[in-house]
């Protein structure tokens, strides 16, 4: 877990997307993991995902407020949340401005279709190289297609950790591309699911809104967050003792 925190992006959203733009311009291959406490707990308990989080190939950004607060408790100057939804929105803007290309994999077919419609209307200069829903069986075959398409941005929305495992498995086959595991972002950006009202986001209570909207998340949320907090407290004690 310590190793994850040492990698977490500290400088906030604007700087981060500035860096992504530069990377897009020089075609530097990039793999972004958006982390909430649950992501880090899955890493701590799953060997292959632990390897992915620790790898030099990946960047970790603090998507959840729990990750920002935990980092601050550990005396790391992490400025603010850098959320998956906002990264995707910014990437759409950049791709549109630059006339660059996109491939999307994940979410339900109707969600993806709605999102494609929105892209067509609002970001007409994006070259959409392909889009496949997340319920087709052979996702490795989709990656064969993505390798051939050489898109500038690849968004994978299958949930944690499957989306990262799949990207990681195929990552070395690419020479360029910004790869992001984006969880439920397609649901939000297609208009299918609402993001929390601004009020909740400002007060750092987006997590609460999500739980109230989707009570099936409570158990998952509770288990991983309670474990996360005790892990952070232990790490903090160790830091203070040293």
Residues within the interface to ligand UDP (CB under 6 A)? 106-108, 134-135, 157-160, 183-184, 186-187
Measured from the CB atom, is 89 or 98 closer to ligand UDP? 89
Residues 6+ apart with CB under 8 A from 67: 8, 35, 36, 37, 40, 78
Considering the complex, what minimum distance in angstroms separates the CB of residue 111 from ligand UDP? 6
For the record, the structure tokens of 211 come out as 């739980």
Element (H, E) at 164: helix 162-170
Measured from the CB atom, is 70 or 142 closer to ligand UDP? 142
Contact (CB, 8 A) for 179 and 102? no
Considering the complex, what minimum distance in angstroms separates the CB of residue 136 from ligand UDP? 9
Q: Is 187 helix (H, G, I), strand (E, B) or coil?
A: helix
Contact (CB, 8 A) for 37 and 228? yes
Considering the complex, what minimum distance in angstroms separates the CB of residue 77 from ligand UDP? 26
Measured from the CB atom, is 100 or 184 closer to ligand UDP? 184
Length of the chain equals 242
Q: Is 43 helix (H, G, I), strand (E, B) or coil?
A: helix
Considering the complex, what minimum distance in angstroms separates the CB of residue 98 from ligand UDP? 26
Measured from the CB atom, is 168 or 186 closer to ligand UDP? 186
Measured from the CB atom, is 49 or 186 closer to ligand UDP? 186
Measured in whole angstroms, the distance separating CA 158 from the mean position of its chain's CA atoms is 11
Considering the complex, what minimum distance in angstroms separates the CB of residue 215 from ligand UDP? 14
């Amino acid at each position: 877990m310590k190793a994850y925190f040492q990698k977490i992006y500290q400088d906030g959203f604007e700087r981060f997307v500035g860096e992504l733009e530069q990377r897009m311009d020089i075609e530097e291959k990039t793999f972004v993991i958006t982390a909430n406490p649950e992501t880090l707990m899955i890493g701590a308990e799953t060997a292959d995902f632990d390897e992915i989080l620790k790898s030099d190939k990946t960047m970790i950004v603090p998507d959840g407020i729990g990750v920002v607060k935990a980092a601050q408790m550990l005396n790391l100057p992490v400025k603010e949340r850098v959320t998956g939804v906002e990264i995707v929105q910014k990437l759409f803007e950049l791709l549109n401005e630059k006339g660059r290309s996109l491939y999307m994999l994940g979410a339900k077919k109707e969600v993806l279709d709605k999102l494609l419609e929105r892209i067509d209307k609002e970001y007409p200069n994006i070259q959409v190289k392909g889009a496949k829903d997340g319920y087709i069986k052979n996702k490795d075959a989709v990656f064969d297609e993505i390798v051939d398409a050489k898109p500038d941005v690849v968004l994978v929305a299958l949930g944690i950790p499957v989306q990262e495992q799949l990207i990681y498995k195929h990552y070395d086959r690419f020479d360029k591309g910004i790869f992001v595991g984006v969880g439920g972002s397609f649901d939000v950006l297609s208009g299918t699911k609402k993001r929390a009202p601004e009020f909740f986001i400002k007060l750092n209570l987006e997590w609460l809104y999500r739980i109230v909207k989707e009570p099936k998340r409570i158990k998952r949320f509770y288990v991983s967050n309670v474990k996360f907090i005790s892990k952070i407290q232990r790490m903090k004690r160790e830091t203070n003792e040293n």
